[in-house]
Structure 1
Amino acid sequence: MSADSFFSDSGLRRGRLGTAHLVFFTVAASAPLTVLGGGVTTMFAVSGNVGAALGYVLLAAVLAVFATGYAAMSRYVANAGAFYAYIANGLGRAGGVAGSAVALAAYNAIQIGLYGLIGAILQEFFATKAGLDLAWWVWALLAWALVGLLGVLRIDLNATVLAVLLGLECVVVLIFDAVALTHPAADAVSYAGIDPSKLFTTGFGAVLAFTIASFTGFESGAIYSEEVKDPRRTVARATYIAVAFTGLFYAASAWALTVLTGPQNAAQASADAGPGVVFGALDQYAGAVVADIANVLFITSVLAALLSFHNGVARYLFALGREGVLPRFLGATSPRSGAPLAGSLVQSTLAVVVFMAFALADRDPIIDLFTWFSGAAAVGVVLLMTLTSAAVVGFFSGRRGPETLWQRVLAPVLGTVLLSVVLVVLLFNFDALLDPGTAAYLRWLLPAIPVLAGAVGLIWGFALKSARPQTYARIGRVAEDGLHEPGLHPSPDPARDRWVHAGQR
């Protein structure tokens, strides 16, 4: 059987995804049930901040400002490398390569870290329910095989799987919210958990750090921009929906937890029981069957996030391989499914090597693998969004179009400033994301990983400029001119084309 039967250079399949598909990918990446069971409870336990629920609303507002410019630019940039292409066309091609390195470091980190989480969850679940006590890495390998298989299949099939899992997750979260609000502590619903004066107190930095981690993945819609039905509108719509949904959904659920436990008891209850606060309440008030289903969906929630981040990394590798920034074999796709086959296989290989190295070193799958890597990923994603917001300003500078001043300049500038503040707060409070027993040097080494990756990418970008100018010239090429490449956008907008060409003359 020839290699051509496995690999193709025909590119990604166009027109397979709509707005709903992208919403499934972006929201599934942040894993709602995982955020409630793991992120929210840990946030209360670590920060002790009674008003932490409003942290989700605050950060959603910041991300909505960012999304304004991001969505405006998405109408002109269709590239599976997403932020890589945005930064290349706004801050320069070498900057784009730096951005791609940050993205690869961040998304690989969170994806690989999740194998530690799902391995530990499956280990405990099957030991408790079936008496089957296997090492966490055995379960991680099974999850790895399933994600690797789905990663090389049709992208719309992936979206269907995520849609089912996400829908069931949300139902369980809503059941918990209903249980909490109908069984309040002291028989009275307290609104202290959504009192703004309670948020900006001790532990605010830790709250911001955890909410950032919870939103990781919301921005991934642009990764699929070459596969959507309407590139000029779909990414923007999906991003706005994802920001609004996750911000309000997580805030409501975090507040519901304070109602259940009592605002002043939320931190201690979360520290004592962790996810048991959620699943214990479901068992007590909704029944053992609902609690068992919720535990299963907790597992599939992590699986959905694994699949979403795997697809994102594979498409970044595809874009970089197609344009010659990385080895060209990475630009190969499956002739049957149109999936970025080479990128998917490379990501799977990297993931199994890293998490098995942690297993051989006898490191804890959650305290070490998951916590370390998710913290580094949070820093990388915020850095990436900050650079992208600045790139929007550069992209629209001197370019005429229908966008308002708010979309072209004001929102991107404000977004850059706000995200820079968030990044600084995250760095100063990074230790809040780590176990207290973590070695001191890791508190600066882990957040340095995406920064160092960006520096290496910048050097490589300038090296390409000198050594391979033709490759350098192709970096981010499907930004404005790419809108007119055959097959990329099957339904061009004649009115848009006229003023673009007029602006170029």
Structure 2
Amino acid sequence: MTDVRIAAPVHEAHLGTRRLGVPALVFMIIAASAPLTVVAGGVTSNFAVTSVLGVPLSFLVLGAVLIVFSVGYSAMSQHIHNAGAFYAYVARGLGKPAGVGSAWVALVSYNSMQVGIYGLFGYALASLLQSLTGADLPWWGCALAGWVVVGLLGITKVDLSARVLGILVALEFVVVTVYDLIAVGAAPEGVSLQSFEPGSLFTTGVGAVLSFSIAAFMGFESGAIYNEEVKDPRHTARRATTIAIVVIALFYAVSAWAMTVGEGPSAVVARSAEQGPGLVFAFLGTYLPVWAVDIANVLFVTSLFAALVAFHNVVARYFFSMAREGVLPGRLARTNPRTQAPVAGSVAQSALALVVLVVFAVAGSGSELGPLYPVLTLFTWLTNMGAFGLVLLMAVTSVAVVGYFRRHRTWYGVWTRTVAPVIGAVCLTIVFALIVANFTVLIGAQGDTVLGWLLPAIVVVPGVVGVLWAWRLRSADPAVYAGIGRGGTLDDDTSALGVVPAERH
């Protein structure tokens, strides 16, 4: 009975239900993308590193790929309501060992994205406070201040986090839209669509461009993770995911294009390399009063904060999902009795983040990189690790969708069950290969370096360990093994939605 009791909290543990609607979920998804951060930091870095003008077109290309991926992914979300989305989908489509391996990759990847952002957040907040007050604060002190607030929000009701993120994301959109309008109006070389021409993208460096741009979408898949907490499990996550992909792709494409117009197609690469993230704020400073630019800088910091909260919530739910099924210690499935937030998972994520922050703070003391140390190390290394792992998971999940619907009779047509997932798997595998080929470029390294293989290994090796752990559970703890990927129940919940399982696992 002891083994069964480890998995038993599973049947009782649950998250707060029926709180999130489509608008709230869209804001939470987009918050993970951090719009202002992507435009000010991601787009300028892309231009600077790759010297390719077709960055705007890359967002449209990747948006199309992810829309195709979301066809099968969203179909799965209607039938499998599990806070560990990738984990559950792969387990149900490719088998339990693959599911546990994917869960470990997801945990490492999402934690990497979340903790890595603290590097840029700490630097940006310290720089902002110095410019406004003259105070010279260490980056790690500012990062820890954000860490405290993120942790507190993580143990509250999910709809409170959604409201906070909704306000911050809306303000980010306002700032970037103002920038876009001013940039297009300035147009020193005229309004040109050159950056949308295929020849501007599909040239030397296209692999690096796509590798940079895919990171801007990371977090879009998190909608399915909240399927136990949405008002309509059949439609909310699917609609929110589609809306978020379309909004992200179009908004970033237009904003990147506006940057080429505002700086001039012939100058945008050089100016991005020269000014980096400061390019957007320097541009706004020539057209807007100082107070408006200060507000934009404040929103740059809150953009990063919104991403921290969004990814923190995702990690907490992965801990909850795995612990609820006994794959992790059952205590990590504990929820707040009042708010139903995954409090143990939230605390675990905060603890991991604290350890990494302390390590980098100590290691960076006296670094020759100076103030940029947390940006060039913690932020750059870990967020690219996260993107590496998440793209791999999306490719694997596409294959899992095919496997799942082959074993379950549904009303879906061949496009949803097979064609779209296969296309998505092929395209995402290509993007993943490009990330691998350009990984040293993405982390700012030169030539062959230990980091070029060590950082990807940190993501992949836990996946292998997870597969071995699942195999051990199959013989050592059959009760836990039987519940893997099923949200704490051995019943197939898809029958309620018209899906008839062809066979039991």
Query: Given the two structures, how large is their TM-score scaled by the length of structure 2?
Result: 0.93
Q: Which residue pairs with 2:183 in the alignment?
A: 180
Contact (CA 8 Å) 2:32, 2:311: kept in 1 or not? yes
* Pairwise CA distance, 1:222: 1.0
Q: Which residue pairs with 2:4 in the alignment?
A: none
Q: Which residue pairs with 1:215 in the alignment?
A: 217
Query: Given the two structures, how large is their TM-score scaled by the length of structure 1?
Result: 0.93
Give the partner amino acid of 1:271. A
Counterparts in 2 of 1:56-455, with a 5 A limit? 56-186=59-189, 188-362=190-364, 364-436=373-445, 440-455=449-464
* Pairwise CA distance, 1:115: 0.7
* Pairwise CA distance, 1:409: 0.6
* Pairwise CA distance, 1:108: 0.3
* Pairwise CA distance, 1:482: 5.8
Partner Cα distance (1:428, 1:500) in 2: 41
Cα deviation 1:64-123 (Å, max 9, x = unaligned): 110010011111010011110000000001111001001001000010111111000011
* Pairwise CA distance, 1:481: 6.8
* Alignment of 1:49 onto 2:63: no
C-alpha change, 1:45 and 1:482, in structure 2 (3 Å) is farther
Q: Structure 2 regions of 5+ residues with no counterpart? A: 1-10, 368-372
Partner Cα distance (1:170, 1:498) in 2: 37
C-alpha change, 1:484 and 1:202, in structure 2 (3 Å) is closer
* Pairwise CA distance, 1:25: 1.1
C-alpha change, 1:319 and 1:398, in structure 2 (3 Å) is closer
Q: Which residue pairs with 1:489 in the alignment?
A: none
Q: Which residue pairs with 2:499 in the alignment?
A: 500
Partner Cα distance (1:314, 1:446) in 2: 23
SS in 1 for 2:173: helix
C-alpha change, 1:63 and 1:480, in structure 2 (3 Å) is farther
- Runs in 1 of length 4+ with deviation above 6 angstroms? 502-505
* Pairwise CA distance, 1:451: 1.2
Cα deviation 1:436-489 (Å, max 9, x = unaligned): 45971101211222111211111111111121111000011149976759xxxx
SS in 1 for 2:344: helix
SS in 1 for 2:17: coil
Partner Cα distance (2:105, 2:33) in 1: 19
Cα deviation 1:331-357 (Å, max 9, x = unaligned): 100011110000000100000110111
- 2:479 counterpart (470, 482, 490): 470
* Pairwise CA distance, 1:287: 2.4
Q: Structure 1 regions of 5+ residues with no counterpart? A: 1-7, 486-495
C-alpha change, 1:113 and 1:388, in structure 2 (3 Å) is same
Task: Tell me the percent identity.
Answer: 50
Give the partner amino acid of 2:353. A
- 1:19 counterpart (18, 22, 37): 22
- How many residues align? The count is 487
Contact (CA 8 Å) 1:77, 1:480: kept in 2 or not? no
* Pairwise CA distance, 1:9: 5.6
Cα deviation 1:33-63 (Å, max 9, x = unaligned): 0000100000000000011111111111111
* Pairwise CA distance, 1:392: 0.2
Give the partner amino acid of 2:193. Y
C-alpha change, 1:313 and 1:136, in structure 2 (3 Å) is same
SS in 1 for 2:266: helix
* Pairwise CA distance, 1:498: 7.8
Counterparts in 2 of 1:475-494, with a 5 A limit? 475-478=484-487, 484=493
